[in-house]
Structure 1
Amino acid sequence: MCAAEAAPSAPSDEAAFKAQIKLLEEQVRAVPASDRASAQAILRQIATLKRDRFGATSKDYFYALSNLAIEAEEAKNYEASIQARREMLAVCEARAAAVADPRKPARLGEDSPYECMLYAAYNLASDFEEAGHPDQALAVLKPLATDAANDRSALFAERYGPDTFPYGAVRYLNKPLNRLQGLYARLALAHGDDSASALSAAHQAMLSARLYRQHLGSSRTEEWQLGSSEHILLSDNDAGEDRFGDFARLYADAAWTAGKRDAETSADVFLTLQDVTLDRTTRALGRAAAERAAAKHGASALFQQRAALSQQSEALLKTLAANSGNMTQPEKDATYTRIQQIDASRDAVDAKLGAAAPEFFALVRPRPLAPLEAKALFRPGDAGLLVMPTIFGTHVFLVDHQGVTWRRSDLGADALNKHVRRLLWDAGADVDATAAEELRWQSEGTGQFPFDRTTAHLLYRELVEPFATQLKNTKFLYIVASGSLSSLPFSLLVADTPSGADGDPAVLRATPWLGDRLTLLQLPSLQTLQLLRAEPGGAEAADRLVGFGDPVLDGEALDRGASPKVRRTRSGGGLASAGFNSFAGDQPLADPATLRTLARLPGTARELTALKAAFGPELSRIMLAETARETAFKSADLTRLSVLALSTHGLLTGEAGAAEPGLVLTPPATATVKDDGYLAASEIAGLDIDAQWVILSACNTAGGDGSEGATGLSGLVRAFFFAGARSVLASHWPVKDAVAEKMIPLILTLQRAHPEWTRAEALQAAEKAIRDDAAGDADFATWAHPSAWAPFAFIGDSGR
């Protein structure tokens, strides 16, 4: 059937009508993918038949138009999709005009006519944007986005307890309005429309999503609900629509563009962007701090009882989510009843726990810090830098003992990501570069091993230099960076305009690196400092080191680390994708035979042996080769440690089919729950690791790869904090064997020789020593290059 045929009239007989619709739907499914125009023509006929039979305001006609619009959008036929979306909006407008209160749904669980208008207008505007007509998109959105009746500021300003709204009600009430206001704000900012209206719309969307997010943490199953929804609430690239992170960034951009930088607005933007950084790592730290608080008050048994009840409730909720369609109603009712019983038991435990340890619940669910609270965290000589890239720029807040200062660079997230990827590639990180990018990057720069210092200085100039005067007397700078910047050590930023050849070792050594001027520490959030300092721990750590490394593997022995000219995969290559192919209950097990195909890493044994010598053989215990087993790690006493060091292969989620990040130890003959040769992050999180410092010199253990959606800190780092670690030394790219063997022991040697130094200062001094060591110079390699001296990030408090 071709598009030129006239649409038949709707038959009066019900059976004949259904048969005709069924025939047309079968014709749509039979249309080849290469002929989507015919499919659109048939869908238009179906819509016309349903309009004539059910009416121009009927749901049947509306959904038929929706099917047509979706088909046209997939074919990028925006003329057709826009026409269908216009008609859908007209249906909603007619339905709204026909009732006394269009904002009230006809029955519970249905969208109101007004919500129908919001959805339809949003989709129509989206098609206009895709078609290259942002002006027409704004014309559709603005009347609704700026409607005074949609101003819910007074509602959002109220404080709601857990029983004010049922779970999900806030999102249900405001989702279509949030989406529309967010789209309007983004387009208005991008195309110079009314900035005041853009600010109002962005603020409304942010407030609504924030209210939902805050409410989400107030129910009895708050930890599970928040964790399972985090990817929707915070992610830039998730399919979820009510993304708090997106709205928060838009609000910051709109406030800056509208010139609203007064103390009240600045404080609100500061709070809002902090909220975006409150990820699972911060909550892991909060949980660990809460556990220490409970122990201090003699309430450890209550804490364990609460955790057990939470796990039971979470397991039942997961069962419902996964199997609801296959469960009978009596089975569902029984499950809900059991959840209610568990929740009631947890309520009783919570009451006792709250009375015994009043600070417990504030630690379990960290909140953003007001400027005065943030200011109080920093002593003279300390400062914090909160860096948040957005579509339109990068917001930077400097926090010190005098207050909070807000600046925004015009360097947006897309441009920033490109710069970060280039620097990470230069440093030898595993960056997903195209063949064209690699050819271009390899041809740039002078010398055998150039580093793009111009880009490194550009980032310094945009992000740090605006605060140069305030940082003049600063010693310790805590970095809270989001997006791709969380994968980049700020130590390799260049503090002055570079001169000389980028590949000359002498020039690289003379370069004014930011890591020389300031002692840098990385944090997942500003709240991390508050949490780490909330409960300093129990007994003082013993002067003791435990290390694991050099697992027995059958692959070819390899040196770790990449150079700008020689690159390998994160894990040294050779690991098949079927590395996780069996289960023990719900837990995936690694295949020991597959793990054994990994490359042997003899340099890790040399590193740990040197570390033992530096720390003191009588104070150290290291497990190598056959003794470096998962059972040994799980059974070891890892409490009251100065240092826990792990030097081996690290896998990220997705590598070799891994469902979560982890560390490879000597594989057993047969995989069991206790030992499959793979120490997964979830297993680490369940251990008691009371270590002042965890050193991870595996591959990429600190964070992502510099891509747009890269996470802030890796699951491995988060797991060690959850288990009780006080600070972590992790790497942003594979560490060269020769460097690791010298640098890691040197850090401990320097700290023991200078007890007044913090661990971060010892790292800073060790980096400079490695960079200045000409013994590392050879053809196509030099330790003066950041790939050698800058891979590590110190994550945690300075400890001074």
Structure 2
Amino acid sequence: MARRLVPLILALLLAGCAAKGPPLPERAAGPIALGRNAIGEECRALPADSADSEAYALYCGGWEQPSGAIAVTLLYDPLPDGAEARARQLAVEANRTGWAGSLAQKAICQPAQPVPGGLLTQCQLREGGWPYIGVTLVDGRRLVQADGIPAVADLLMAAPALLNAGPVTNRQDISALLRAALGDEALRFGRGDLNSFERLSEVGRLSNSVEDYAGAEAAYRKALDLQAGALGPDSPGAGDTLMALALEVSNQGRGPEADALFRRADTLLQKSFDKAARARLGSYMAFHAANIGDARRALSLGRDSSAIRRAIVDDLEEQAGGGANRAVLGSLAAARGDLIHSLLLEATVSLRLDQFGLAEAATMEAATLFSRTRGLPPWWHARILGIQGLARAGKGDAAGGAALMSKAVASNKQLFGAGWPVASSMLELGRVYAQAGMDDEALAIYREALSMLAGLDTDRGQLPLDRLIPYLDVLYRRGQAEPDQRADIHAEMFAALQAVREGVVGQTITRAAARFASSDPAVSDLIRQQQDAVRNRDRLRIEAAAETAKPDVQRDRAREDLLQKQLQDATAKAQGLERQLQAAFPDYARLTKPAPVRATDLSARLAPGQALVQFAFGTTGSYGFILKETGIQAYPVTINRAMLQDQVAELRRSITPRAGGLPPFDLDLSFDLYGRLFGGAGDGLAGVTHLVLVPSAALSSLPPALLVRDKPQARDYARTSWLVRDMALSVVPSVSSFLALAGSTERPRAARPFIGFAAPPFQGRQAGGLKALGEECRTDAALDPALLRALAPLPETADEIRSIGGRLGAAPTDLITGSGVTKAAVRGAGLDQYRIVYFATHGLLPGELRCQAQPGLALAPPTSPPASAADDGLLTASDIALLRLNADLVVLSACNTAGGDARLGGEALSGLAESFFFAGARSLLVSHWQVPSVPTVRLMTGLFAGDGVPAAALARAQRVLASDPATAHPFNWAAFTLVGAAPHSGKGV
């Protein structure tokens, strides 16, 4: 998945670019009162350090950071007479100053306009496109230059007199001019809005850098809401935030939604005067094209973007001339940074297309630009080296490529110490070693990277399986060559798999963790402290590394010592807060950082006749793992992720009714899939009577009961060798959840037998309701009740819970139907008192509800629009994680809870299950499709007829229906899957 590269231009070191002028007068020693700004805040100018000017930082009200600057220099010669000549010469003098370079670093400006007494420059901040202004004024021989948000415009125009503590005469009110140009909103936002926006943007960038795309999306959505509130919904600056948001949505696989966001961004950017905005949009859309698999379009967009940016750089280099114009030099540095990003995008996409020569050429140009531009972030160099190394290795020079990538790893270590950027570059180096057959080197670097990831004190982002497949390949080869070490090597492969965190499951758990944290102020405050401490530590580490990387003649030893001391203190503080968080709130730690599971620990919890199977489906290779009480076996699986998706989709089509009838089920395809999944295991399933499956990718959308073990001779479903005929089956979302569930049997059982929720008052049609939901964007906001009300009604589910609840001895008050099925009712029902909790309603999947990256259950919509998501009618995975359960079984007898689409549903089930298990459930029963009433009643009757192990009871009930010719088609009996691993009796099934 493409990583967004965000321009982070540091302060340019431009001192010494202009000749020294006459000596400056001494500046004031303390704050200078400036008066009130346009939003009523008292403002003041505080002296600031500057080598070549009298400088002040501008503060108003309770601002945490200055929102402007004032600089005073002396002119060499008086300005000429005549308005036009005076304005021209003033512009020349202004552009030679350090202030002009500083403004160009942080803002993009239009040509200055003459105003009485000087010049006015309208700008937009590079970070988010917020309106910004600069003024240049002359007071005798004094050249006064100032910048700030539009709300301080009138104060800036009076700066010469205010700094001298003199009376303000003929004060220029330029508010009307700015309102006409920027709109009323521009004069009403304050530095507080800007502070919040900058913090959210930083969170977005940091989340993206560790590939936590859901976290980045949430931050950019909040930033966009803040901009809309401060500047209006159609502010040109919002286009920049929109394109960042669009890319994070694309990074999570929601292509159509990303397309819509990019279109909105394009419309707003049409009104921007930032010439580079179109190129930036092209780069982001290129990453989006790469995400959706259109690498050639991605390369075309990336090259077009580079061409635009290269032209901007060439034009600015021509304007810079001898280097006296600091405004141009500041813009040139920023433009070179943008061009470097475009070139790295070209190189990344070229690697995907195996065009290694193009990739190398792009990185070499980027390296040249980087070496010519002072002040760029030092970690860019490591990124350039890493991509250049991949290109070199792709051309066949594995040793040369590895050497370059080793330098990238060393550079990242110096800057970051330990962290995701370091581990990520090490994983890339490991892949180069593995593909070159340098197995020893590959194993060493992979092991170091995984050890680093395990020890991180911050939440890391998604780690796709494909990043580890070469490591698994090397280990498997080593195991084949060293039979006496095979068990330990297979265990190491299994341990590596525990580091993988990708897809909907990872997103769901991340959101559940955030919701858990926000529900407790003490947790939230400690998490914020720990995250702030980590960011401060990382900032100091980069500053210290940048200082020590300077040539000896430029190094400041005293500053180095100070930074090292500060870094040691910050590291100790971050580590202490992490330990405090883990100890005080173990539930949060369990959600965010589940402990890795060792194969030996897992085998020890398996009973005789029980086996756990986990699959790892990659793009180029796949593996299966079978664990029994006797040990672990790893083996290659002859199907990759894309092939699996196609086969599962085809099998699901053969159990989807058409024109009122059932199509023939493809027995041969089911048998082929079973062979691909288990054929490499040999007799690994011999003697297994209870199989616990940890599915992944599209396999999560297929109930394992309908796999066929022996080649079918005819289409006789009643005599087919279904997998469920030989063993009881259950699935678990992760191996860590299996161990947690195995320990849950130590809790006392709940006293009451059954509580059921069914038949919320939906009033629409299935297709129409889901279509309306699909057009709604829900993040943390409440859902419109009308959208849930438009879902198709499920009246028969009321009879379903009455029938089952009656058999199990439920009280009438424990059968909740219709308008009573609300979030408040679920939260207030005392669910921890019930052994069976039953939901009979619609399940909604990610992708059915736009922007909703977690699954949920549709409950009764409130009668009026709710104030917050806590009171709407969608019970999400995050809501479920906050419940308290003590249930032996939770039943989700609902359409789509396990996924009706191989592309969307399966991983959603795993995320939903993790939330229920976190809340305290021991197992879940879910349906993969909506089953006709009669088979469902027979199945449920069989399931609840005894008090045995749920997996065994479900298997018995399914065999009864599968052996009856009237119900033998798997559509009638295979839909339900048990999620969880209840205690195994050891007596078989």
TM-score bracket for the superposition, by shorter chain length: 0.5 to 0.7
Alignment of 1:713 with 2:909, yes or no, is: yes
Matching residue within 434, 456, 467 for 1:247: 467
Contact residue 385 and residue 405 of structure 2 kept, 8 A: no
Aligned with residue 595 of structure 1, among 775, 779, 788: 788
Partner-residue secondary structure (3-state), 2:693: strand
When residues 511 and 679 of structure 1 are mapped into structure 2, their CA distance, relative to the original with a 3 A threshold, is same
Tell me if 1:116 matches 2:384: yes
Contact kept in structure 2, 1:574 and 1:599, CA below 8 Å: no
Determine whether 1:608 maps to 2:865: no
Q: Tell me whether 1:178 sits opposite 2:427 in the alignment.
A: yes
1:373 aligns with 2:601: yes
Assess if the C-alpha contact under 8 Å between 1:663 and 1:679 holds in 2: yes
Confirm or deny: 8 A CA contact 2:881 2:919 kept in the other structure. Answer: yes
User: What is the letter of the counterpart of residue 638 of structure 2?
Assistant: D
CA distance in 1, matches of 2:352, 2:750: 66
Structure 1 residue 498 and structure 2 residue 766: aligned?
no
Q: Which residue of 1 aligns with 2:938?
A: 742
Offset, 1:462: 2.1
Amino acid of the structure 1 residue aligned with 2:614: L
**Structure 1 residues 141 and 65, CA, compared in 2 at 3 Å: closer, same or farther?**
farther
CA 1:790–1:116: 2 relative to 1, 3 Å: same
| Partner residue in 2 for 1:132 | none
The answer to whether the Cα contact below 8 Å between 2:618 and 2:641 also exists between their aligned partners in 1 is yes
What is the CA distance between 1:699 and its match in structure 2? 1.7
The question of whether the paired residues in 1 share the 8 Å contact of 2:843 and 2:895 is answered with yes
For 2:811 and 2:406, locate their aligned partners in 1 and report how far apart those are by CA, in whole Å: 73
**Structure-2 residue corresponding to 1:565:** none
| Distance change (3 Å), C-alpha of 1:738 and 1:167 | farther
Deviations 1:563-582 (A, max 9, x none): xxxxx75x97564445577x
Partner of 1:425: 653
In the aligned structure 2, how far is the partner of 1:622 from the partner of 1:786? 30
Q: 1:65, 1:695 → 2: CA distance?
A: 54
Please state how far the C-alpha of 1:630 moved relative to its aligned partner. Answer: 2.8
- Check the 8 A contact 2:701/2:905 in 1, yes or no: no
Does structure 2 conserve the Cα–Cα contact (< 8 Å) formed by 1:592 and 1:676?
yes
Aligned residue-pair number: 648
2: CA distance, partners of 1:391 / 1:72: 21
Instruction: State how far apart, in whole Å, the 2-side matches of 1:497 and 1:89 are.
Output: 57
CA distance in 2 between counterparts of 1:348 and 1:638 reads 31
Q: Are 1:508 and 1:785, in contact at CA under 8 Å, matched by a contact in 2?
A: yes
Deviation for aligned residue 1:745: 3.2
Q: Paired residue for 1:207, among 437, 444, 447?
A: 447
Seen in structure 2, the aligned counterparts of structure 1 residues 670 and 317 have a Cα distance that, compared at 3 Å, is farther
How far 1:71 moved relative to its partner?
7.0
Is the aligned partner of 1:517 residue 2:726? yes
Inter-CA distance 72–519: structure 2 relative to 1 (3 Å threshold):
closer
- 1:677-724 alpha-carbon deviations (Å, 9 max, x no partner): 332332222121211110001122235732299626344323221211
Deviates more, 1:86-95 or 1:687-696: 86-95
Which of the pair has more CA radius of gyration? 2
**Unaligned runs of at least 5 residues, structure 1:** 1-12, 99-104, 126-135, 157-163, 189-193, 220-224, 236-244, 289-302, 323-336, 430-437, 502-506, 557-567, 778-782
1:390 maps to 2:581 = no
Question: What is aligned with 1:534?
Answer: 743
Q: Distance in 1 between matches of 2:432 and 2:627?
A: 31
In the alignment, which residue of structure 2 is the partner of 1:702?
898
Partner of residue 481 from structure 1, selected from 690, 695, 714: 695
Aligned to 1:796: 980
Q: Deviations over 1:506-543 (max 9, x none)?
A: x0111000011111110122222321233535332225
Are the structure 2 counterparts of residues 44 and 639 from structure 1 closer, same or farther at C-alpha, using a change threshold of 3 Å? closer
- Aligned residue runs from structure 1 range 128-143, under 5 A: 137-143=394-400
CA distance 1:508–1:620, change in 2 (3 Å):
farther
| 1:758 partner amino acid | V
Structure 1's 684 and 675: CA in aligned 2 closer, same or farther, altered over 3 A? same
Alpha-carbon offset, residue 395 of structure 1: 0.7
Distance in 1 between residues matched to 2:518 and 2:369, nearest whole Å: 57
C-alpha deviation, 1:91, in angstroms? 7.2
1:346 and 1:94 map into 2 onto residues whose CA distance is 40
Equivalent-residue separation in structure 2 for 1:165 and 1:215 (angstroms): 18
Compared with structure 1, are the counterparts of its residues 573 and 311 closer, same or farther at alpha carbon in structure 2 (3 Å cutoff)? Answer: same
Give 1:294's aligned residue.
Answer: none
- Does the 8 Å contact 2:386/2:408 carry over to 1? no
Instruction: Name the structure 2 match of 1:312.
Output: 525
| Counterparts of 1:346 and 1:114, CA distance in 2 | 28
Which structure ranks higher in relative contact order (CA pairs < 8 Å, sequence separation ≥ 6)?
1
Equivalent pair of 2:433/2:441 in contact (CA under 8 Å): yes
Identical-pair percentage: 25
One-letter identity of the residue aligned with 2:455? H
Return the alpha-carbon distance in structure 2 between the equivalents of residues 256 and 490 of structure 1: 26
* Counterparts of 2:352 and 2:733, CA distance in 1: 44
| 1:458 aligned residue | 672
Structure 2 residue 827 is matched with structure 1 residue 634: yes
Cα distance in 1 for residues equivalent to 2:792 and 2:322: 68
Shift of 1:60: 8.0
Amino acid across the alignment from 2:394: A
Which residues of 2 match residues 684-703 of structure 1 at below 5 A?
684-702=880-898
Structure-2 change in CA distance of 1:636 and 1:451 (3 Å): same
Q: In structure 1, what is the equivalent of residue 950 of structure 2?
A: 759
Offset of 1:412 from its aligned partner?
2.0
Per-residue deviation, 1:114: 6.1
Match of 2:763 among 536, 546, 554: 554
User: Which of residues 948, 951, 959 is equivalent to 1:768?
Assistant: 959
Residue 257 and residue 733 in structure 1: after superposition, are their counterparts in 2 closer, same or farther (change >3 A)?
A: farther
Query: Secondary structure of the equivalent of 1:745?
Result: helix
Matched, 1:671 2:865: yes
**Is the CA contact (8 Å cut-off) linking 1:420 and 1:488 kept in structure 2?**
yes
Could you tell me how far apart the structure 1 residues matched to 2:529 and 2:929 are? 39
C-alpha distance in 2, partners of 1:206/1:371? 19
Is the contact between residue 925 and residue 978 of structure 2 (CA under 8 Å) also seen in structure 1? yes
Measured after TM superposition, the shift of residue 271 of structure 1 is: 0.9
**Structure 1 pair 697/746, CA: closer, same or farther in 2 (3 Å)?**
same
Partner-residue secondary structure (3-state), 1:379: coil
Q: Is the 2:712–2:720 contact (alpha carbons within 8 Å) kept by the matching residues of 1?
A: yes
Secondary structure class of the residue paired with 1:687: coil
Amino acid at match of 2:960: A
How far residue 422 of structure 1 moved from its aligned partner, in angstroms, is: 1.3
Q: 1:456 deviation in Å?
A: 0.9
Contact 1:65 1:85 in 2 (8 A): no
Return the alpha-carbon distance in structure 1 between the equivalents of residues 354 and 963 of structure 2. 63
The AA in structure 1 aligned to 2:892 is: L
- Give matches, 1:772-791, under 5 Å: 772-774=963-965, 777=966, 783-791=967-975
2:304, 2:772 → 1: CA distance?
48
2:833 aligned with 1:643: no
Residue-by-residue CA offset, 1:2-45 (whole Å, 9 max, x unaligned): xxxxxxxxxxx9999999xx99x969969999998998777666
**Higher mean Cα deviation, 34-43 or 382-391?**
34-43
Go from structure 1 to structure 2 and tell me whether the alpha carbon gap of 1:590 and 1:740 turns closer, same or farther (over 3 Å shift): farther
Q: Distance in 1 between matches of 2:740 and 2:605?
A: 11
Partner of 1:102: none
Query: Normalising to structure 1: TM-score of the pair?
Result: 0.67
Q: CA RMSD in A?
A: 5.4
Deviation for aligned residue 1:252: 0.8
Rounded Cα–Cα distance in structure 1 between residues aligned with 2:334 and 2:829: 64
1:142-183: CA deviation from partner (whole Å, max 9, x where unpaired) = 423268967999x99xxxxxxx99988433445445335436
Deviates more, 1:60-69 or 1:370-379: 60-69
Give the TM-score taking structure 2 as reference length.
0.56
Cα deviation, residue 633, structure 1: 1.9
